[in-house]
Amino acid sequence: MAYDDNLARRGQSLRDTLAIGITLTSIIGVIILSLIVIMKDDEDGSNINMVFTAVLPLMGSWIGTVLAYYFSKDNFEAATRSVSEMAKNVTPQEKLKSTAVKDKMIKREQMFYKKAPLGGLMLVDILDELNSGEWSRLPILNNSGHIESVIHRSDIDRYMAERLRRYPATDLSALTLQDMLNEYSDLESHFGVVSEKSTLADAKSVMDKVPNCKDVFVTQNGNLNEEVMGWVTNAIIVANAQV
């Protein structure tokens, strides 16, 4: 990096030297030629008029070009520094406030979820599906598409371990998702809901207010008794809060 900076400075110094050298040489050359023409002027002064008519606008355009180049360059660099400083000062919360949930949520058609009734859903099969799809949690919707609960893979692992501890002869392959929900009724409260017009900052605020909440679902007006449109996880919020 230091080598690249030194190389850039050398290149800039060379460009500045060439620009100044060429400009000065051109100006001096034009002045000398103009003086020669003036000294050999005819009696009617036509050469002097020609020099002033041709040389002065030329000199003015050169000077204007050089000044415009250097001043515009400085202004551009100043604007770039200003924008960079502004970007550094953007906080994660401000970034979340400017991001709509509908732009970052997992849409309903992309979600991995199950719908009630759950009696025939075996836990071992659910685990296989979670592992094959690299999902870590499972939303449960009712027949109307309303969110009822969220099952995390860690919840299933914990439930199976506790069943084996209490009942060593338990056949894990016979356990259903409904069996688990009957014992872990608190899972139904570990999520939040926001409207489709909300931002990720709103979703984070809801998530912070609900104990052990890592999931927020998006409905049209932010009500539980509405069909789920999308899903925002804590991982989505963390990823979009980075600046």
Q: What are the DSSP calls for 95-155, one per residue? A: HHHTSBHHHHSEEGGG---EES--TT-BHHHHHHHHHHTT--EEEEE-TTS-EEEEEEHHH
CB 189 within 8 A of CB 168: no
Of 179, 192, 108, 107, nearest in space to 149 by CA = 192
pLDDT at position 2, please?
A: 47
Angle ∠(229,232,234) on CA atoms, nearest 5: 165
Strand 114-115 to strand 137-141: parallel, antiparallel, or no bridges (unpaired)?
parallel
Please tell me what DSSP assigns to residue 201.
H
In CATH terms, 96-241 corresponds, of 3.10.580.10, 3.40.50.720, 3.40.1190.20, 3.40.50.880, to: 3.10.580.10
In whole angstroms, what is the distance from residue 42 CA to residue 63 CA?
30
Helices in the chain by DSSP H: which ranges? 2-39, 46-88, 92-97, 101-104, 123-132, 153-166, 177-183, 200-209, 234-241
Each residue's pLDDT, cut to its tens digit, for the chain (243 residues) gives 444 555 556 656 666 676 676 667 766 766 776 676 666 655 555 666 666 666 666 666 666 666 666 656 566 666 666 655 655 556 888 889 999 999 999 999 999 999 877 778 899 999 999 888 778 899 999 989 999 888 888 889 989 999 999 999 989 999 988 888 888 776 667 899 999 999 999 999 999 998 888 999 999 999 999 999 999 999 999 999 886
Please count the other Cβ atoms lying within 10 Å of the Cβ belonging to residue 199. 19
Of 141, 12, 25, nearest in space to 70 by CA = 12
In whole angstroms, what is the distance from residue 156 CA to residue 175 CA?
10
Distances, alpha carbon 50 to alpha carbons 28, 34, 40, in Å: 18, 9, 13
3-state SS class at 45: coil
Please count the other Cβ atoms lying within 10 Å of the Cβ belonging to residue 152. 18
In whole angstroms, what is the distance from residue 44 CA to residue 27 CA?
26
pTM of the entire structure?
0.61
Strand 192-195 to strand 147-152: parallel, antiparallel, or no bridges (unpaired)?
unpaired
